[in-house]
Structure 1
Amino acid sequence: MSFSIRRCDDADLAEWASLRHALWPNGSAEQHAEEIAAALPNGVLRGYLAIDGQGRGIGFAEVSIRRYANGSTQSPVPFLEGIWIAPAHRQHGIGRLLIDRISADCAAEGFVELCSDAEIGNIASHHAHESWGFAETERVVYFRKTL
């Protein structure tokens, strides 16, 4: 299986939005494209694509630069917002290569850590994060009170 990893640029907006929609189906791909386009100029959102040998997007990861993240030791901190690989291409190391590229880019910018999260019941994501070199730092339960 032949594929490559690259950081997204403006020309990748439609592909990034389409893959983002596969991970987060609430809202249309067009709405995702609008969100990405609005966030790109301020430099806090970055996308990475996994591309197959025919030039098609088969996965993506999205990172934001947050002012704070639970468990982080520095501020600001790069934060893995999401990662998704097309089902037919899973279990081939694509997620690891996306994380490796993101880690290298962030380290080159002077960051010393990459943070992330996963829902408490998403055990598959917990295992994936561990396999990519993440260490669990804490668990948090969020609450809401309607006013």
Structure 2
Amino acid sequence: MAGDTFSVRRCGPSDRAEWIRLRQALWPHVTAQAHAEELAVLIEETQLCGWLVSDRNGPVVGFAEVSIRPYATGCTQMPVAFLEGIFLETAYRRQGLGRLLIEQIEREYVAKGFTELCSDAPLDNDISHQAHARWGFDETQRVVYFRKPLD
């Protein structure tokens, strides 16, 4: 079982480099420097928290982060705890580590008085949709946004 050989811990100041490394793996179009700058702002403005999952005898292999948003579409609580990102290195996927991260996050936010955890995923990311369903999330709606520049 994942919890027997892996552990989850809250990111602390000494974990910042690992958090940035994993953010860059999830969002590679953003530079490490931009991730570092964004983290500083998000931690202050949205109470962003990160969690790392690691082999008890080895490296960090994944992370998740949650912010507090004023609201989220399809959710009933305001403000709301929002899963901003979750990532596991390829070799560690489908082993229950995502669930381990989500369960730790749930415990912490229930203790803070939150009644739901919200998230999103791109419309075409079926793997993420399946993972969210396995973790107990219910889909609330699908949407495509449009914009028209005005000259």
Query: TM-score higher than 0.5 here?
Result: yes
Q: Does 1:118 align with 2:102?
A: no
Q: Is the 8 A contact 1:19 1:57 kept in 2?
A: no
User: Could you tell me how far 1:145 is from its partner in structure 2?
Assistant: 1.4
Aligned partner letter, 2:54? I
Q: Where in structure 2 are the equivalents of 1:45-60 lying within 5 Å?
A: 45-60=48-63
Q: Among all aligned residue pairs of Structure 1 and Structure 2, give the percentage whose two residues are the same amino acid.
A: 56
In 1: Cα distance, 2:62 partner to 2:32 partner: 15
Query: Which among 140, 145, 150 is matched to residue 142 of structure 1?
Result: 145
Point out where structure 1 has 5 or more consecutive residues left out of the alignment. Answer: none
Across the aligned residues of Structure 1 and Structure 2, the Cα RMSD in angstroms comes to: 1.4
Point out where structure 2 has 5 or more consecutive residues left out of the alignment. Answer: none
Query: Which among 26, 29, 37 is matched to residue 29 of structure 2?
Result: 26
- Report what 1:40 is aligned to: 43
**Cα gap change, 1:6/1:16 in structure 2, threshold over 3 Å: closer, same or farther?**
same
1:142 match: secondary structure: coil
- Report what 1:100 is aligned to: 103
Equivalent residues, number: 147
Q: Any runs of at least 4 consecutive aligned residues in structure 1 with deviations exceeding 3 A, and if so which?
A: none
Query: Which among 53, 58, 76 is matched to residue 73 of structure 1?
Result: 76
In 1: Cα distance, 2:149 partner to 2:16 partner: 37
| TM superposition score normalised by structure 2 | 0.91
In 2: Cα distance, 1:106 partner to 1:125 partner: 22
User: Could you tell me how far 1:52 is from its partner in structure 2?
Assistant: 1.8
Q: Is the 8 A contact 1:5 1:49 kept in 2?
A: yes
